[in-house]
Amino acid sequence: MHKILSFLVFIPLLGFGQVEQGRLTVEKLCSPAFHGRGYVNGGDSLAASFIADEFGKMGCKFFRDSPFQTFRFPVNTFPGKMACSVNGKTLVPGKEFVVDPSCPAYFADSLKIYRISVDELFNGKKLKNKISEAAMSGSKGGIGFAFHFSLWKGDTLKKAQELAKTLGQSMPVIELVDTKFTWSVSQEQNRFALLQVQSSALDASLDEWIFRVRVEAKMINHTAKNVIAYVPAKKKSKKYFVFSAHYDHLGRMGQETYFPGGNDNASGTALLLEMARYYASNPAEVNVVFMAFAGEEVGLLGSHYYTENPIFPLKEIQFLFNLDIMGSGEEGVTVVNATLFPEQFETLKSINEKQQFLPKVASRGAAANSDHYFFTQKGVPAFFMYTMGPNKHYHDVYDTYEELSFNKFNGIYQLLVDFEKVVCWKR
Ligand SMILES: [Zn+2]
C-alpha cells in the first residue's frame, strides 16, 4: 500500500519542472483577481503579497525581517465607468477604443466629432472655416476633432500632430488608429479627453459622428512595494548576485477591462520565483538576491527607488540579471548591456554554445528600457535579457497567459544557473 501510494505521488512530481511551475504562476498573475497588477483595486499590492508569500514558502530570507520596500508616486487611474459609443454603436474597451493614459474624467452624451482632412490641414482658410463651423454649430453636447494620423507621413503627419495638440488644449480629440493599441501609464492628467479609436470600428461614410463617452478617471498618490528576498551564501560572504524582474503591469482601464501583462512581465516574475526556488535548495558561493520591482511601467520607479535606497552596498553586487518578457524564446534572447560588459557576455554566450540551451543569444548596447538601467548608472554590472519569438503582444489586452509558448523557459533557467556559477566563481 505504502509503496503504491508513494509511486502514485512520485510520478506526477517527476514531470513537474520549472516551466510547469512557471505556467501556474503566470496564469495566476494574469487572472482578473490581480487586476492587471496596476493601480485599480490594489492589483499591484495583491501581486506583491503573493510574491512575498511564495518567497517565504520556499524558505528565502528577508532583509530587516520584511520582504517589502515601500515608496509613493502620483498616477492617473481609471477605477470606474469606461464606455464609448458612436451613433448608438457600443465600442469594446481595450479592443475598439482606449483612453489616453493621461485622459481626465469625461462625460458627454452627444459629442459631435469633426474630421480633419489633408486638404484642410494645408489650407489655412479651409481649416479656419472648419474650426469656426464646429465652434458655431451650437452643438449642446460639445464638439471635438478626429485625426487619422496613420493615413499621413512626414510633414503632413507632423502638421496634423501639432494641430491635434493645439486643439487638444481646449476640446476633446479622437485619434483614429489602424494598428493595435499600445497602452501605458501616466503620472498626470490632461485638461481634455483624448481617445484612440480603431478606424475599422467607425463608419467613415456617415456625415456625422456623435460620440457618447463615460470615463471615470482619478489622480491618486499610490503606495507601491518592491518585494525583496535572498538566499544566504553557503559560507558567509559579503558578495551578492541579484536576479530582478518587475511584477507590475498597466492595471485596469475601467472596471471591466484589464491588461493581463502575461509576457510583460508575469513571465519574468515567474522565472524570478523559479530562480529563488532553485537557490533556496542550492545555495551559492555568494548571497543570491531576488528583487521583484513595482512601478516599472510608470518609468522604472521601483528599481530607481531601490538604487537610491539600497539595502546593502551596491558595490557588493557582483552582477545583476534583469528578466523582462520571458514568455517565448523560439528566436532566442537579446541581452541589453552586452556591449558594456563584453567579458560577461562572452561567458554567457559560450555556456549557451556548449549547452545549446537557446537558439540565439543576441547582443545589444545600453538602453533605459527596464529595471537594470539605474543599477548600471550606479556602476553595477548588469544585463537585461528578453525573449524573442512570434508573440508580439505588448501593452495590450491580448498579452495573455494563453498567448505564451514558454518555449525556452527551462533553457533560460539553466543558462542563468550556469552563468551565476561561472561569474561568482571567477570573482
Ligand atoms: Zn516590462
Domain edge (last residue) among 200, 215, 230: 215
**Phi and psi based region of residue 108 (left: phi greater than 0; alpha: psi -120 to 50; beta: remaining):** beta
User: Is the domain of 170 the same as that of 306?
Assistant: no
User: Is the domain of 155 the same as that of 182?
Assistant: yes
User: Is the domain of 70 the same as that of 122?
Assistant: no
Distance from the Cα of residue 184 to its chain's centroid: 8
Domain edge (last residue) among 215, 235, 269: 215
Query: Ligand 1 centre and the CA of 247: distance in Å?
Result: 8
Query: Ligand 1 centre and the CA of 22: distance in Å?
Result: 17
User: Is the domain of 183 the same as that of 324?
Assistant: no
User: Is the domain of 199 the same as that of 239?
Assistant: no
User: Is the domain of 272 the same as that of 413?
Assistant: yes
Strands, DSSP E only, in 187-316? 194-198, 209-215, 218-231, 240-246, 251-252, 258-259, 287-293
CATH code assigned at 316: 3.40.630.10
Q: Is residue 2 part of a domain?
A: no
CATH code assigned at 131: 3.50.30
Domain edge (last residue) among 173, 190, 215: 215
Kindly give the confidence (pLDDT) of every residue in the chain, 427 residues in length, as a single tens digit, with 9 standing for 90 and above: 444 444 444 443 444 689 999 999 999 999 999 999 999 999 999 999 999 999 999 999 999 999 999 999 999 999 999 999 999 999 999 999 999 999 999 999 999 999 988 888 888 899 888 888 888 886 777 899 999 988 999 999 999 999 999 989 989 999 999 999 999 999 999 999 999 999 999 998 888 899 999 999 999 999 999 999 999 999 999 999 999 999 999 999 999 999 999 999 999 999 999 999 999 999 999 999 999 999 999 999 999 999 999 999 999 999 999 999 999 999 999 999 999 999 999 999 999 999 999 999 999 999 999 999 999 999 999 999 999 999 999 999 999 999 999 999 999 999 999 999 999 875 5
Q: Is residue 104 part of a domain?
A: yes
Please count the other Cβ atoms lying within 10 Å of the Cβ belonging to residue 60.
23
User: Is the domain of 292 the same as that of 181?
Assistant: no
Q: Is residue 3 part of a domain?
A: no
Show Cβ contacts of residue 127 under 8 Å, excluding neighbours closer than 6 positions.
Answer: 116, 120, 121, 163
Query: Ligand 1 centre and the CA of 145: distance in Å?
Result: 33
Task: Give the chain's domain count.
Answer: 2
Q: Which residues pair with 214 in a beta bridge?
A: 83, 107
Query: Ligand 1 centre and the CA of 413: distance in Å?
Result: 19
Query: Ligand 1 centre and the CA of 126: distance in Å?
Result: 44
User: Is the domain of 328 the same as that of 266?
Assistant: yes
Query: Ligand 1 centre and the CA of 376: distance in Å?
Result: 17
Query: Ligand 1 centre and the CA of 245: distance in Å?
Result: 8
Sheet with 382-387, edge to edge strand ranges: 68-77, 218-231, 287-293, 240-246, 317-323, 382-387, 333-336, 361-363
CB half-sphere exposure, 277, CA atoms < 13 A? 18
**Residue 189 domain boundaries:** 82-215
User: Is the domain of 210 the same as that of 228?
Assistant: no
User: Is the domain of 65 the same as that of 111?
Assistant: no
Query: Ligand 1 centre and the CA of 325: distance in Å?
Result: 6
Query: Ligand 1 centre and the CA of 7: distance in Å?
Result: 42
User: Is the domain of 421 the same as that of 380?
Assistant: yes
Gap between the Cα atoms of 146 and 19, Å rounded: 46
User: Is the domain of 206 the same as that of 351?
Assistant: no
41 with 32: CB under 8 angstroms? no
Report helix, strand or coil for 123.
coil
